[in-house]
Structure formats: C-alpha cells, structure tokens
Amino acid sequence: MALISIPLPAHRSIQFNFSSLNGTIRLLSNRRVQLALMILVPILLLTVFRPFLPIPGPLETNLRAMTKPPSFVHLFGTDRMGRDILSRTLAGVQISMFVGFAVALLSLTVGLVMGTLAGFFGGVIDRVMMTITDIFLAFPSLLLAIGLVSVMGTGMLPVVLAISLSDVPRFIRLQRSLVLSLRSRAYIDAARTVKASQMWLMTRHIVPNTLAPLLVAASIAAANAILVEAGLSFLGLGIMPPAPSLGNLIRDGQTYLEQAWWISTLPGAVILLIAISLHFLSDGIRQVLDPRSRK
Amino acid sequence: MLTYSFKRLVQLFVTVLGVVTLVFFTMRLIPGDPISAMAGDNLSGAALDQMRGQMGLNDPLPVQYLTYLGRLAVLDFGTTVTTKLPIVGLILGALPVTVSIALGTIFLTVLISIPLGTLAAYMAHKGNRMLDNIITGVAMVLDLMPPFWTSLVCLLIFSLTLGWFPASGTVSLDDPAMLLRRIALPVLVLSMAQIATLARITRTSVLEVLNEDYVRTARSMGWSELHVLFRHALKNAALPIVTVIGLSFGNLLNGTVIVEFIFTLPGIGNLLVGGMNSRDYQMVQTLIVFYAMIFVAINFTTDLIYRVFDPRVQF
Amino acid sequence: MNELRPIRSALLDVRNLHTHFLTDKGTVKAVNGVSFQINQGERVAIVGESGSGKSAMAMSLLRLLAYPGKVVSGEINLEGRDLNRLSERQLNEVRGRLVGTIFQDPMSSLDPVMRISNQMIPPIMRHLGLSREKARAEAISWLDRVGIPDAARRIESYPFEMSGGMRQRVMIAMALSCRPRLVIADEPTTALDVTIQAQIVELLKELTAETGAAMIFITHDLGLVARFAHKVGVMYAGKLVEFGPVKDIFARPRHPYTQSLLDTIPPVDQLERRRLAQIPGFPPDMKLPVTGCAFKDRCAGAHRRCFEVAPELEPRGHGHAAACWLPEGLGAGRQMERALIPPMEPAADAGEDRVVVEINNLHKHFTTRSSLPWRKPPTVRAVNGISLRIRKGETLGIVGESGCGKSTVARLLLGLDPATSGDIFIDGMAQMVFQDPSSSFNPKMTLFNIIQEPLVVTGWGTKAERETRVRELLGQVGLDESYMHRYPSQLSGGQRQRIAIARALALKPSVVVADEPTSALDVSVRAQIINLLVDLKQKLRVSFVFISHDLLTVSYISDKIAVMYLGEVVEYGPADEVFNNPAHPYTQALISAVPIPDPEAEEARIQKPLSGELPSPLNLPVGCSFASRCPKATDYCRTHKMVLKPYSKTRETACHYAS
C-alpha cells in the first residue's frame, strides 16, 4: 500500500493538455500506459460482459462440483459450495472497481475544493484545515477505516466513506502544495496587475494546472482503495458475504488453504494485477507530464 | 533546537488531543449507545440502565468527555466491557509480540532495501537501465501485493507445504526460540512491502544526489565512484530515507493487524480485531487512540532525528 | 593547422574532440570536432551561447560528463599523455591533481552536509601525500589566500554558513589546493553579483599568475573575456569557429558569428546611440545532421559553398584562426550594414512631458514570523524610503546588486504588494514584463488567450474588437499572426518575451515595468528584444522601468538611472552622466566592476574591486548603509544617515563626500 506522494512537476513540464488530441496521443503512446491498458481493458471487459459468458453466476452453487481445482470447465476452480471462483472473482472485481473509482472520485473532488481554498486563501482557513488533516493523518489508514466501519457499520457505502476519509487529507495536502507553488507564478502576477478577480485566478490559472498531478494521485488512490477494501473485507469488516468481494473470497479460502489453494490465491493475483496496472497508469501519466522523470 | 522541539511538541499535543476528541465523539455517533449495541437484545431495559449508570453514560456528553480526558491523563483506559479486564493490562501483555514483529520488520527492511536501492540508483545513473528496471519492477510488484494475500501464500508454501515454520503454537517472551519461529513468516511478509517502498525511496534519493553538482565536484577532485557513493551520495540521501522510514510506519502498523490476525499471534492487532468482532467499543476506541499515538510519536522522533543530523537546519 | 602548433609542446593539446549525448530522441552531437592548444600559464576563454557545447567540451576533458554524455573520439594530450586513453583509476590521479575544476553554481557545488575541512583536506593528503596536519595547514593557507577571513576557524564551517561569493572562493581554494597545472573554470562567476564577480575574476587572475597554472575559462560574457583572457575560442554548434589572441579577435574578428556577436553588445560610449545589430534566427538543432557550415542560415555572407562543405578552422596569421570560407568574414559588408543602422532619435525633451509615475518616500518592510510568539519578529527593510519620478515616454533604469530591493520596487509599482508607507501615483496603468519567460505564461492557454486576458478581465471591447487588437499587438512585437493558436511551450525564449511584451501593451498602459527582461536570453536574442523595446518606446511613447543587474544594457536603454543599495537610491540622474561620470562611491565601484568587451579598454582601467559583501538587510547600519564597504568612509559616515540631494543640475546623490 503505497504512500501517496507526487513530486510536483516543474512549471515547464505541466504542459500536458488532456483535452487536446495531441495530449491523448502522447498519453496513449507511452509504454507504461499501454501496458496498463493491456491488463485493465480485458479485465474490465470480462467483468462487464460476465453475465453473457458461459460460466455460472457468482452465487450459483453446484453440489456436484465442490472444491474442484482449476480445470477447463472452472478456470479458477470452485469453492466448497461448488461456486465458480472465476465468476465470483469477476463479480468481486466489479465491486473493487466501483470502490476504487468511488474513493478516487470522492477524495479528488473534496481534496480539490478544500485544498484549493486552503492554499489560495491561506490564513485561518489554511491553519484550521491543516490541523484537521494532521489529526486524520495521525491514524494509519487501515486503522482509521476499521474505526469508522465500527461506527458506520459494514457495507459498500461505509467502506467507501471510511477509505475516502483517510485519503481526503492527503489530497488536500497535495492540492494545497500545488496551489501554493502555482500562486507565485509570474502569470498569476500578470493577471493581478489588471485586477483580475480571485475567481478568475482560481478557475483560469490555478485549478486547470493542478488537474494533471491530481489525476496521477487519484489513480494511485484507486489502487490503494482496492487493496484496503480487500483488507477490510478479509478481516470481516468490509462488504459482507455472500456478496463476492475479493477480500471475502480470500477470507473464504483461508480455512481451506491446505485442501484448496486456488480459492484464495487466484482472486489475490487478480487484485495484484489491477493494482499494478493502476500504478503503471499513474507512472505513465507522470512520465508524459514530466519528461525528466523518465530516467 | 529547543524552540523547534517546543513548537513541535505543542503541535503534537494539539494533534493528540484532536485524535482523542475525534475518536470519542465518533464513537458516540453509533446509533443507540455502546451498551445496547453490545448487548443486542439479550438484556432488559432495567439492566441496560444500570450498566449505563455504571459507565457514566447517563451523564451529559461534555461531562462524559471531560471524565474521559481526565482518565486518559492518568493513563486509565478503563476495562473491557465483556470481560471486565483492565485494558492497559491487555495492551501491555500483547505489546511485546507486536513490537517484536515491527522491530524485526524494520531491521530486515533496512538491511535489504538500502543496498538494493543504492545499487539501482547507481546503475540508473550510469545508464545501465536493465538492472535498475528489474529492481524497480520487482519492488513495485512486492509493494502492491496485498499483505493478507501474501501471508496466505507464504503460509501455504512455507508452513503447510514445506513445514519450515509452525502455523500455530503458543507465543510468549519466555520462549524466544518459538517466538522467533512464529514471527519469522509475518516479518517476512511485512518486510516485502516495506522493502519495496524503502528501496524505491532510496533509489530516488540516491539518484537525485548523484546528479547534484557537489558529486561532480568530488569526482573532479579525483575521488573514485565508491568513495563518491558512500561519502557523499548516501550521506546526503540518508535524511529523506529516515523520514520515509517514519512515514511508512503507518503502513507497518496496518500490516501488523493483518498478519497477527492471519498467523493468530496475540498482539494488539489481534486485540483490535477481537474487539471489533465482540463489539467491545471501549476496547476498539482505546486501541485506535493507542495506534495513532504510536504513529504520531514515531513521526515526531524521526523529525527530530532529521533535524539533529542535518547541519543546515538552524534553530 | 600546422602554423597554429607552437614549436615547444603545449600543456594541453586537444585534437578532434567529439562528445555525444545519446538521448531517447536521438544523438546530440554536443561537441563536434574541437581542436585547440593551451600553453603553460595561458588563460584561454571559450565563449558561446547556451547549447553551443562549450560546457560539454570542458567537462569532456576530464570525462566529468554525466550519463548520457560520452566522449566518442579525439585526443586530449595533457603534458604528452592522452587523457582519453586513461582508465578511470589513472584519470583519478589527474583529476584534482594536475587539473583543478571550478563550477558554475557555488551554492550547489559543495557538499551541504560536510564541513569544508572534510571536503578540502582528504584530496590534499591523497594527491600530495601529506599528513593530515600538514594537509590541514595547506588547506588553511589556501583559504587564506583566496580571502576567507579567519580561515583557521572557517575551515570547520559548513557551506550553508557562507555566502555565494565565499563558497566560490572555497571552490577556487579547493581546485588550486593540489597545485594543478591547468584549471578548468565553467562559468565560475555567472551566478554571482557583478561586484563579487569582479573580486573572483581578479582572484583567479592573481592566483593563476602566481602558481603558473594555465586556465580554461568557459563563459558567455564577452566583457569577461576581454578582461581576463589571453586567448579566445568562439564556439558555435559544437565547433570552434574562431580561435586566437584576445586583442586580435576583438579588433579584427574574422568569423561572421564572432563579428555579429560583437556587434550585438550595447556600445559603451553613449555619444551616438544606434540600434544594436542582431543575429536573425536560432542556432541549429544539434540532433539533426548539419551539411555545410552550421552558421549559414544566420549569416549575411553565406554563399553556395557554405551550404555544401563545412569550413575547417584555418590559420589567419598571428596565431589567429577562423572557420569560414570568406577570408574576412562579413568584411566590408559588416561595416556597411552597421552604417545602415540609423542613429536613434534623441529622447524628446523630457522637461515638457507630464509626470506619469511619482513615488514619494516609499517603504516596504517584510516582517518574518517570529519563531516564538513572545519574541519581537525581525524586520527586513527591502525598500527604505525612495522617491522617484518618471515622465511620459521616459525610460528609468534601476540597477543594483541582488537584494538591493529593485524587484520589490517593481512589485510595489504594479500593486502586487502593498507598501508599508509612502505613496505611489500612477497616471494610467502599470503593466509588467517578467524575467523568466518560461513561467510567465499559463501553459494551458493559447497565445491568443494570453494576450487578450487583460482585455477580457477589464471588459474591453467586443470579441471581434479584441481579436483585432491581439493581431495588432502581435504585429507590434514582430510576431506572425499564425502564432495566435499556439501554446507557450512551442515558442523559444525570445518569442516568449515578445508575447510578454504584447500582453503588457494590450491595455495601452502608461508605464511598463520590465524586471530583468533579457537576463534569461542568449546574447544574440537579447539584442532583438532590446531593439524591440527601444522601438516601442519611440513609437508608442510609453514609459518603461527597466530593472536589471546588467549595467551595459540598462545604460544603453535608459534615459535616467537610479542606483539602489540596501533599499535606498544612492544616485539618480541621466543615464550617460551616471554611467560615464559616477558620483557616488558605490556607483563608481559598480561601474568599474562591469567588464567592458574591449581588451584594450579593460587593460587601461584600474582594477580595484569593491571589497566585502552586502550586509544583512536585517540590521542596517545606523549611518550611511554603504559605509561598511566604502573606501572613503569616515566615522561621520558611520553615524550620520545621508539622504539623496542634488549633486549637479540634473543629478542627485546620497554621499557626504560626493563633490
């Protein structure tokens, strides 16, 4: 579970324009991005089209095929109730992806707003915000999530909120430091000499230039959220069975590790693949943003 | 130095107070109250009321809060709700296991990751990308493996299949050999992720220093590559590395909870999961505050170490 | 080539050196066949613009290039040994011992977490085989020689405890400590202020003369070359295009590039101001193969042969060599072209015009946050009571060393920071042009949006009117309209500065504040921008405040000059008077520190660099702020503050002993 730390690309390198075709092409021609998409796209397609695949449903039990090792019929094997692990894994990926996306979006949005306010206006807002983030950052992330889940109960929404709460302070910090470094740029001063409003400065000059580094952080946060959700579910504190979250699958298999190794290990490998590809994605974006980091 | 330590201490105090307050009030947000949540439907209204009275839950919230703070100030963490055992005793009993795992992990991590990261940085600096790519690639994969999954895989391979390490057995400080054998796998699992993080940071820091002008100055005075690497690069890179060791301690604490659960080790992580499962909120609340304080204290210490060893920091 | 080679063997004989940078995007041939010789005790300057390969060449000599740079071929004979064939281990016996190196940025060239003693003593022990005590004594004596006060104590300090000038002295002491035969100095004074630069240059001159070490001096400053060098090599696109004795090169340059370069420098004599000559275009992309002469596209004298075959460095007599097919370079054409440039119109009689900017007793104090709440926070007096007036169409130059408060004045004028006290009156609007063209623009905006931003913000005109205005502005700064839809990253430094000027002019301001607008630009591009500013000033009758540490440029472009020292104006008056006949001792020192690109004139000047460094603005002296460094200071100066008062009819100065 990686720390979120994005070195701010130097000013001359934040020249990446997501809206322009040129930017998209540069992004797609990056090797790491290609690699990430090569893993992510098939997994996503399989997940989306799972109902149409010739495999049993994730909750379908089959008493004639209990604890079967991987074979052509059941690529990932079955569990002790004869449920198809591949099918359950794909359903779990769906949940993971949702959690990852929701957490990334939530943290990014809240972090963007609060961080911009703190960095741009400074003063009391900034100090209060920093003290609060300090308090939240004092908790190791999984433990904060455990504490929050104990209050909010288990299930999808509490899990998403619990994980986001430990990410939001990091995003606020990141956005704040981005804003601070942009605030003293010469083009901000130039706009101030013609008495441009605070709103103009923020929406025209500051926020657009922070989006790219925030996106890099968001893709790491998504990977992180997927891992934390799996961890929570594994401890029995996340998404409750029978919903096939990846953490639940691994927890299920733990008891039968000796007899049926595939129940735990194969879903775990899929989590790893997703996390790796999300990291490749963020690395790729960063490389496109800052050519000097390519070393 | 004193001024700085003072300022940091004030900041530390504010953070800890915030942590305690946050945890206290969040716990009170639980629908109903801790007692009914714990008891479920087993107790009658009168019995519940009596328990509430005993625990002071009938007082107004601010009074409860102040009472709580007062008790924390004298390190009285109360008793568990179910077994009525003092929580401090439980924590102290479980602490050695967790500390052994944490220390073991840090030792193994530093031992492996710093040479590895330095090597990768040196190779990258010389333009030998292959070895660098292999080291950074492996580091990334290790970093992203969910620790609970790695634990299971290790358990499967080393305990169940190869039988090298026992998967169960009593753990106590009186039997260090057993303790070592039992915590070996958890330490290995946690180290994997930590090594990855630290090796990557070491690589980045050393590589950055190798590109500094003063390294070129040292070369221009006729020093060999090894001299430059050890006398200049590592010395300058050490400071950010120390900071990262402090910061990654949070992940290490996360990890201990999971490995203690999987390897059924009686550490404080297991107390926490146990507390959650038996809905002992008093216990959960105390432990989360405890974890946060350890983390804050560690970061405070690394920050001071940083400042003591960096001659540039003036006080 | 044979004529070049002296009978006695040279100390350093470089032959056909090639250095490449193997990047992802292709091979950059940074050094592309360079040959030259240096004799014992000779000071050779290598000049060139950024990207000409001069630093790469210098670093190649000791193989100090970082990856992906690599010396591909060539001989580097030092006292008969080819350094290029030595192993790393053998080369380490040469580095520091036979060849000392001084780098550009003193702030980053010393290890920050190591004491000076630990950086200086071990190399002396190793190379000279001395004991620790003897090596220590040697190191201290070197620090003493380079002018570190209290060297025996200061040797135990860390670099951060010293100023930039002091650190560069330590670098010099280190480089010379093992008594090398050759010293390579890579832009050793570029990062320093002009008075410190003068001190360092004098020091290098003295020490190399004393020790008999030869020196390679890499620089982009032709003035320094004139002051310092015996011989000059001019580099362009990875090649030496001209090499020879300094006086000969300045008096009779043979290569068109050298000729144009010399013509781009603002003339020192102010009698007749002409537009500067400018070199059109940009240097070639070093990743692409060059057929023929690399300078052909920018050369007025280029003919067919230049496009086919690259000329080699050929002797032109008296140890002078040039790489051009034409024996005299641009020759008579150069003189003709210069004559075609019309003299500038004299500034209109300023007395008639109204005052557009008036500053009265301006103060700006920065209060740093106190470390403890009950302690009184320290105050920096960045601007400490200045009063200035600017008339319409007039250019005011503000000069001074870094930290003198000149940039703070600019920010106050633009209303970016509030003044602590005093008032600023501006008739109309103030707009700005910044130093760093790379951070001046929002990278996400097209040039059209950048230029029209002031119009949009102030609600000027309709969309169509704004577009017309942007086109007009682009024309005024000499850029094609097709640039409108590009992004700033697609422009060169000079083009960006044109855009900055267009943006500043959009609202027809009464005064444009330009803070170091040309410092980040190369010499040839700098002339283009200066010419543009001069044209605009005449055409639009807009006032300029031109802030720079480059005195030659300021005196060339300004009507009036204000000299600042520690937040105060110490001298104020017409540019040519201040420059040619300075009254205040600080102005005198500043101007004598500026190297003039004319070796004959430099020789004639008396060099007495200003001693000492800028005192901390935290605790200003009670009396005259310059007293601590002033050669004429008396006790009276140290106790009595002096204000600006009339010195002559047109000039004011703040010195008790000015007359």
pLDDT digits (tens, 9 = 90+) for B244-289: 888 888 888 888 888 888 888 888 888 888 888 777 777 888 888 8
DSSP type of residue C394: -
Q: Please give the order of strands across the beta sheet that includes C395-399.
A: C430-433, C511-515, C543-547, C395-399, C560-565, C568-574, C652-653, C645-646
One domain for residues B156 and B44: no
- Whether A204 contacts chain C with CB within 8 A: yes
In a domain, A114, yes or no: yes
Higher-confidence position of C23 and B223: B223
C450 interaction partners in chain A (CB closer than 8 Å): 187
Type of residue numbered C424: I
A146 interaction partners in chain B (CB closer than 8 Å): 257, 272, 276, 284, 288
Structural domains of chain B, count: 2
CB neighbours of residue C115 within 10 Å = 16
A189 interaction partners in chain C (CB closer than 8 Å): 411, 414, 416, 432, 434
CB neighbours of residue C136 within 10 Å = 18
Q: For B190-219, how does the pLDDT look when each residue is reduced to its tens digit (9 = 90+)?
A: 998 888 888 888 988 998 899 889 999 999
Structural domain including A246 reads 86-280
CA distance B312 to chain C (A): 6
Q: Give the residue from A194, A287, A290, A292 with the most C CB atoms within 10 Å of its CB, the best one to mutate.
A: A194
The answer to whether C368 and C604 are in contact (CB under 8 A) is no
Type of residue numbered C419: A
The answer to whether C274 and C343 are in contact (CB under 8 A) is yes
CATH number of the structural domain spanning residue A275: 1.10.3720.10
**Boundaries of every domain in chain C:** 12-98+180-331, 107-179
CA nearest to B311 within chain C: C113
Structural domain including B211 reads 90-309
- Whether B185 contacts chain C with CB within 8 A: no
> Percent of chain C at pLDDT above 90?
36
CA distance A134 to chain C (A): 21
- For chain C, which chains pass the contact test of at least 3 CB pairs under 8 Å? A, B
- For chain B, which chains pass the contact test of at least 3 CB pairs under 8 Å? A, C
- Whether C374 contacts chain B with CB within 8 A: no
What does the DSSP assignment read for B285-312? HHHHHHHHHHHHHHHHHHHHHHHHH-TT
Judged by average pLDDT, the poorest of A100-104, C338-342, C586-590 is C338-342
Are residues B220 and C62, on separate chains, in Cβ contact within 8 Å? yes
- Residue C568's SS3 state is strand
One domain for residues B138 and B55: no
The answer to whether B243 and B302 are in contact (CB under 8 A) is yes
Q: For A22-37, how does the pLDDT look when each residue is reduced to its tens digit (9 = 90+)?
A: 667 777 777 888 888 8
One domain for residues B43 and B165: no
Beta-carbon-side half-sphere exposure of residue B85 (alpha carbons within 13 Å): 12
Looking at C62-193, list the stretches that DSSP marks H as alpha helix, in order from N- to C-terminal side: 88-94, 116-128, 132-145, 151-154, 164-176
Looking at A13-84, list the stretches that DSSP marks H as alpha helix, in order from N- to C-terminal side: 21-28, 31-48
Are residues C438 and A190, on separate chains, in Cβ contact within 8 Å? no
CA nearest to B251 within chain A: A140
One domain for residues B155 and B220: yes
CA nearest to B213 within chain C: C109
- Whether A195 contacts chain C with CB within 8 A: yes
CB interface of B with C, residues 101-140, below 8 Å: 125-127
Strand C560-565 to C395-399 pairing: parallel
Ramachandran area for residue C392 (φ above 0: left; ψ -120 to 50: alpha; else beta) = beta
A17 interaction partners in chain C (CB closer than 8 Å): 444, 487
Are residues A272 and B296, on separate chains, in Cβ contact within 8 Å? no
Are residues A276 and B140, on separate chains, in Cβ contact within 8 Å? yes
Q: What is the pTM of this model?
A: 0.83
In a domain, A134, yes or no: yes
- Residue B234's SS3 state is helix
One domain for residues B59 and B207: no
Q: Which residues of C touch A (CB under 8 A)?
A: 24, 411, 414-416, 429-432, 434, 436, 438-445, 450, 453-454, 457-458, 487, 489, 503-504, 507
- Is the peptide bond prior to B176 cis by the omega test (within 30 degrees of 0)? no
Phi/psi at C405 (nearest 5 deg)? 100, 10
Structural domains of chain A, count: 1
Round to whole Å and give the CA distance between B230 and C175.
22
What pLDDT sits at residue A106?
A: 95
Are residues B153 and A254, on separate chains, in Cβ contact within 8 Å? no
CATH number 3.40.50.2300 given to C12-98+180-331: no
CA nearest to B226 within chain C: C89
What pLDDT sits at residue B305?
A: 80
Bridge partners of residue C231, in order along the sequence:
C44, C245
Type of residue numbered B267: G
C62 interaction partners in chain B (CB closer than 8 Å): 220
What pLDDT sits at residue A107?
A: 94
In a domain, A21, yes or no: no
Contacts of A226 (CB under 8 A, 6+ apart): A96, A97, A99, A100, A246, A271, A274, A275, A278
Round to whole Å and give the CA distance between C41 and C39.
6
CA nearest to C507 within chain A: A194
- Whether B32 contacts chain A with CB within 8 A: no
Q: For C82-141, how does the pLDDT look when each residue is reduced to its tens digit (9 = 90+)?
A: 999 999 899 999 999 999 999 988 888 999 888 999 999 999 999 999 999 999 999 999
Strand C379-391 to C12-23 pairing: unpaired
Q: What is the average per-residue pLDDT within B115-137?
A: 86
CB interface of B with A, residues 180-239, below 8 Å: 193, 197, 207
What pLDDT sits at residue A15?
A: 41
What pLDDT sits at residue C511?
A: 93
* Whether residue C335 has pLDDT greater than 80: no
B125 interaction partners in chain C (CB closer than 8 Å): 66-67
Are residues B258 and A234, on separate chains, in Cβ contact within 8 Å? yes
One domain for residues B24 and B97: no
CB neighbours of residue A184 within 10 Å = 9
In a domain, B82, yes or no: no
What pLDDT sits at residue A18?
A: 47
One domain for residues B69 and B130: no
Judged by average pLDDT, the poorest of A213-227, B58-72, C491-505 is B58-72
Rounded to the nearest 10°, the torsion over CA B107, B113, B119, B124 is -160
One domain for residues B55 and B105: no
One domain for residues B280 and B200: yes
Bridge partners of residue C26, in order along the sequence:
C23
In a domain, B78, yes or no: no
- Whether B311 contacts chain C with CB within 8 A: yes
- Whether B153 contacts chain A with CB within 8 A: yes
Round to whole Å and give the CA distance between B26 and B30.
7
> pLDDT 10s per residue in chain A (295 long)?
333 333 333 333 334 444 455 667 777 777 888 888 888 888 888 888 877 777 777 777 777 767 777 777 667 777 777 778 788 888 888 888 899 999 999 999 999 999 999 999 888 889 899 888 988 888 888 888 888 887 777 788 888 998 998 899 999 999 999 998 888 888 999 999 888 899 999 988 999 888 888 888 898 888 888 888 888 888 888 787 777 888 888 887 777 777 777 777 788 888 888 888 888 888 888 777 764 444 3
What pLDDT sits at residue B219?
A: 92
Q: What is the average per-residue pLDDT within C296-320?
A: 85
CATH number of the structural domain spanning residue B150: 1.10.3720.10
- Whether A184 contacts chain C with CB within 8 A: no
Q: For C366-383, how does the pLDDT look when each residue is reduced to its tens digit (9 = 90+)?
A: 887 655 666 667 788 888
Phi/psi at C15 (nearest 5 deg)? -125, 120
- The token duo for B65 is 């809060």
CA distance C290 to chain B (A): 27
Phi/psi at B215 (nearest 5 deg)? -70, -40
What pLDDT sits at residue B51?
A: 66
Angle between helical axes of B235-247 and B87-125 (0-180°, round to 10) = 140
CA distance A272 to chain B (A): 6
- Whether B212 contacts chain C with CB within 8 A: yes
Q: Give the residue from B148, B155, B158, B273 with the most A CB atoms within 10 Å of its CB, the best one to mutate.
A: B148
Q: Which of C95, C100, C109 sits opposite B214 (nearest CB)?
A: C109
- Is the peptide bond prior to C327 cis by the omega test (within 30 degrees of 0)? no
- The token duo for A277 is 């590809």
Q: Which of A191, A193, A294 sits opposite C430 (nearest CB)?
A: A193
DSSP type of residue A293: G
One domain for residues B109 and B203: yes
